[in-house]
Structure 1
Amino acid sequence: MWAYIAQRVLTSIPVILIVGVITFSLLYVAPGDPAAIIGGDEASPQQLEEIRRQLGFDKPYHIQLGRWFLRLVQGDFGTSIFSKREIRELMAPRLQPTLSLGVQVIILSSLLGVSSGMLAAWRAGRKLDRGLMLVAVLGFATPGFWLAFILIWGLAVNLRWFPVIGYSPIGDGLLQHLHSMFLPVLVNSVLGSAFISRITRSAMLEVLREDYIRTARSKGLTEFKVFIRHAFRPAAIPVVTVIGASLASLATGFVVTERVFGIPGLGRMLVDSIARRDYPIIQALLMVVATAYILINLIVDVIYAYIDPRIRY
């Protein structure tokens, strides 16, 4: 098992390096001159050259890339063009809201998707199955920003059960924090659980047609035991794949969600940095998102190996 994990980690390193090269190269293909942005319209050519020298733009590309990677390994993301503060300091207070949103979405979307998919497979072809799959199709086809505005209008503006915008950190109290995060978590969980539910249903129905399932039923096992003990684990591999892919794709959804609900997370920070063309922050956040994506896929591979030991060999 540990050899398999080490192998997956080693194969992830080249991917991170390639993503890093692409991310760093964005500085050269993006419109605008960072030195001109820092110096402003009144900067003289001599001042612009001095700024470029301070930023290291006077060095060859491979030297700049090597220094950038070396700083990343040391945990140094550089300095913001506008605030002149270290990016690591700017990201630290914004990490907790995004992580909290992500963890809650992972838990809720997985519970909703897997449970509704198993329930639909249990009642396959009946009204409950058709109703759950209709809800899943609607959830999968609904744009995230539209669903967010509908929930804000219904639950926050009219019923006033939840705040329209705003964020309460965990330090202000767990219940208050969960209350402020309910709507953004619900929006992302509905979108994520829709696809999980459909795949869970399909995987369960395929496994339930196998001969060993009929054998288990012929032995007099209850339908609950057949579902949980004999059917769910073989069907879990495609479900885990979809959960991992959904979580990775939700990283882009957090950008919209944090903007709509006023959450001071990394997604909102990325949007603001793009608007200001603060390239060092954009590079740092893209690397964080890419690394998180690769890490999620690595975790999915490890879960594969746990569910089906044949994958290790």
Structure 2
Amino acid sequence: MPGFIARRVAAGVALLFVISLLSYTLLSIPDLDVGRQLLGQGAAQDLVDARNAALGLDRPALVQYFGWLAGAVRGDFGTSWFTSENVLRAIGNRLPVTISLMLGVTLVTTVLSIGLGVWAGVRRGAVDKVVQVLAVAGYALPGFLVTLVIVLVFAVRLGWFPAIGYVGIGESFTGWLSTVTLPILSLSAGSVAGVAQQVRGSVIDVLRQDYVRTLRARGLPPWRIVLRHVLRNASAPALSVLGMQFVGLLGGAVLVEQIFGLPGLGSMTVGYTTRGDIPVIMALVMFTVIGVILINLLVDILIGWLNPKARLS
């Protein structure tokens, strides 16, 4: 297992370097003239040039990148070009919001998808058909439409939850829970359907195996067969899908945070990207990639624990 984890970590570090280089290169292609944006259209050209030089924008893009990389390795992502705010502090203020959403969605998706998938795979019949219909609907319906319906029903019509705004968990737990419930439901709708379908298919495949019939012939209780044998062998494909769903959730969080007025990384990404604030954008890209790498590493470790053969692949 240590060698297995070391290979995954090494691959993650290499991926982080490649993505950072590509991201910085792509961000440097447009001539944004940051100095002009900061000083205004009426500023003298020599002042604009001096401002760009102070930001290091007069150097070649590759030199700028390695200068940024040297700071990033030390944990120094610089300051925002437009607000002069420390980048890590700005992200740290918004990170708890996005983490709340991601953890909530992961928890809801895991519990509901496993429950629905196992239920459909074991019971079959009408339950199986309902889960398949939900899976198709979850994939087919646009995310913004699902979010709109959830807001109209639970916030506008019923008034159970606020439509916009965010309360920190340190201020009020109930207030925090009420402000993240609808965003979590919006992000979970498609994920639950997709993972449940995968769990359902895996459970059906495992139930057809010879060793399951042997366990039944020995008189083991059905619930014990499902929980101790079927679920463990069927969970590896579901974990892979769950990991991919998490990556997609990072993109969906941008839309959801905008709709619900949440001060998270998604809304921050939109605001700073439109201005071309490279230090902030690069830090956001790195945090996103690190999150994806950690989730995939966790999924690989869990799959390797469930299926030792996967450690050799």
TM-score interval, normalised by the smaller of the two chains: over 0.9
- The Cα shift of 1:245 comes to 0.5
Amino acid at match of 2:246: L
Contact 1:34 1:279 in 2 (8 A): no
Contact 2:25 2:61 in 1 (8 A): no
- The Cα shift of 1:76 comes to 1.7
Listed as ranges, the matches of 1:34-73 within 5 Å are 34-73=34-73
In structure 1, what is the Cα distance between the partners aligned to 2:130 and 2:27? 49
- The Cα shift of 1:310 comes to 2.1
TM-score by length of 1: 0.96
1:79-134 Cα distance to aligned partner (Å, 9 max, x none): 2122111111211110111111111111001111111011000122x111111221
Amino acid at match of 2:111: L
In structure 2, what is the Cα distance between the partners aligned to 1:46 and 1:30? 21
Contact 1:258 1:268 in 2 (8 A): yes
- The Cα shift of 1:35 comes to 2.4
- Taking only the aligned residue pairs, the percentage that are identical comes to 34
The equivalent of 2:211 in structure 1 is 212
1:139-183 Cα distance to aligned partner (Å, 9 max, x none): 222211111111111111111111011111001222221111110
SS in 2 for 1:170: coil
- The Cα shift of 1:307 comes to 0.9
Listed as ranges, the matches of 1:250-289 within 5 Å are 250-289=249-288
In structure 2, what is the Cα distance between the partners aligned to 1:58 and 1:276? 19
Contact 1:23 1:287 in 2 (8 A): no
Contact 2:28 2:61 in 1 (8 A): no
Q: How many pairs does the alignment contain? A: 312
- The Cα shift of 1:259 comes to 0.5
In structure 1, what is the Cα distance between the partners aligned to 2:119 and 2:174? 30
In structure 2, what is the Cα distance between the partners aligned to 1:309 and 1:61? 45
Stretches of structure 1 lacking an aligned partner (at least 5 in a row): none
Listed as ranges, the matches of 1:86-235 within 5 Å are 86-124=86-124, 126-235=125-234
In structure 2, what is the Cα distance between the partners aligned to 1:195 and 1:236? 14
In structure 2, what is the Cα distance between the partners aligned to 1:31 and 1:180? 40
Contact 2:187 2:252 in 1 (8 A): yes
- The Cα shift of 1:31 comes to 5.2
Amino acid at match of 2:82: F
TM-score by length of 2: 0.96
In structure 2, what is the Cα distance between the partners aligned to 1:154 and 1:31? 46
Q: Which moved more, 1:37-46 or 1:65-74?
A: 37-46
Amino acid at match of 2:175: Q
Contact 1:258 1:264 in 2 (8 A): yes
Contact 1:113 1:200 in 2 (8 A): yes
1:307 matches 2:306? yes
Contact 1:121 1:205 in 2 (8 A): yes
